Amino acid sequence: MQYKADWPEAQYRLTALWHGERLDRPCMAVMAPQPTMRPLAVPEPADDEARWLDPEYLLPAFRHKLETTWWGGEAAPSCLTMANWMACLGGTPQFAPDTIWFATQEVDFSRPSPFRHDPDSPWMHRYRTLLRALCAMAAEDNFLLGQPVGLPASDLLSMHMGTEAFMLGLMDHPEWMAEAVVTGARDQAQVQHELQAFMREAGHHYWYGNAGWMRFWAPEPFKVTQSDVSCMLSPEQFDQFVLPELEVYAEAFSALWYHLDGGDARQHLPRLLSLPYLRVIQYIPTPSEPPNGPAHLEMYQHIQAAGKIVHIDVPLSNVEPLVRSLDPALLMLQVWCASRDEGEQLLDHCVKWTSQLYTQGVV
């Protein structure tokens, strides 16, 4: 791999993680700035839409990111883009400098759900154009692309309907809403399969991609999903409206990587940990919570006790206490360092800390 000479070793370690095998340290995606002798000029995007969809801006921007980053440990050189949100079940995207949102629309509950995938939408056309260009660049330079479908159906419906209308719909029209979520999930699964075939035909060797916005690679296809709207749902509502969607994705992709969105979503952790097809839990604390680190140690241990992989982005200062306390066979840490030297030292320290963990019989 052009931007990562040790990719075979990284694959070996990530494969061991996927199978729960203990090595000399946990998996660590360590990134740091990398000076380059030939900085690439990146044009300014024409507007916010171009920022997310225009290959003339995005390809140079991605190449600049690849060339100015040291991809240490198990960090996979990769292009992660929100453009995959264009597979949006018929929504109308609205572009901002830092995100993509969707226009809200009213729903007629006497008619079938309007939230269906439209393969002929202008937004899907633009996304396929970008994806084709990224595949061509990846085939040439040998890096990874993010998974080709972003948001799950439950989150998309809450965005398309608006939060208040979505929540009222769950209470006043539960059968309609449950069917709309499952129908949308089936569409999302189908379009992901189609886009993965598109990537294979375009020559991308790692066609199933890594996690769409977190750098996690597995030796077999898996589905990235979440339900941020579940922060507002009771456990009973989660079982009624979200669990059937997860079942659709599990049937289509076998293994799931799940983003758990802060403290309000943690009430659903017992149900999530009971799901045999859920392989990875990725946690992001809310701004009111401490960052990933010792403050959440009990939760990480609970996840690992259920046989699931903990995948978290952590501050450098919080790496050591986690490595000294958690099972390295079920741990993936993502860390940003100030330099390559600092990153290499961190990886060496992790080997020492893990050896001490084994010696002490903590795991």
**How do residues 302-318 score in pLDDT, each as one tens digit?**
999 999 999 999 999 99
**How do residues 210-239 score in pLDDT, each as one tens digit?**
766 778 999 999 999 999 999 999 999 999
* Average of per-residue pLDDT across 103-132: 96
* Average of per-residue pLDDT across 169-173: 98
Give the β-pairing of 69-73 and 27-33.
antiparallel
Helix (H) or strand (E) holding 361: none
Q: What is the pTM of this model?
A: 0.95
Count of positions (residues) in the chain: 363
* Average of per-residue pLDDT across 2-21: 95
Helix (H) or strand (E) holding 102: strand 100-102
pLDDT at position 26 over 90:
yes
Average model confidence (pLDDT) across the chain: 94
pLDDT at position 2 over 80:
yes
Question: What band does 124 get if pLDDT is binned at 50, 70 and 90?
Answer: very high
pLDDT at 339: 97
**How do residues 34-76 score in pLDDT, each as one tens digit?**
988 777 789 999 999 999 999 999 999 999 999 999 999 999 9
DSSP reduced 3-state for 99: coil
333 in Cβ contact with 29 (< 8 Å)? yes
pLDDT at 212: 65
**How do residues 282-306 score in pLDDT, each as one tens digit?**
999 999 999 999 999 999 999 999 9
Cα(200)–Cα(284) distance, integer angstroms = 32
**How do residues 250-262 score in pLDDT, each as one tens digit?**
999 999 999 999 9
pLDDT at 139: 84
**How do residues 71-85 score in pLDDT, each as one tens digit?**
999 999 998 889 999
Question: What band does 203 get if pLDDT is binned at 50, 70 and 90?
Answer: confident
Question: What band does 350 get if pLDDT is binned at 50, 70 and 90?
Answer: very high
116 in Cβ contact with 187 (< 8 Å)? yes
Domains of the chain with CATH codes: 38-306 (3.20.20)
* Average of per-residue pLDDT across 81-103: 95
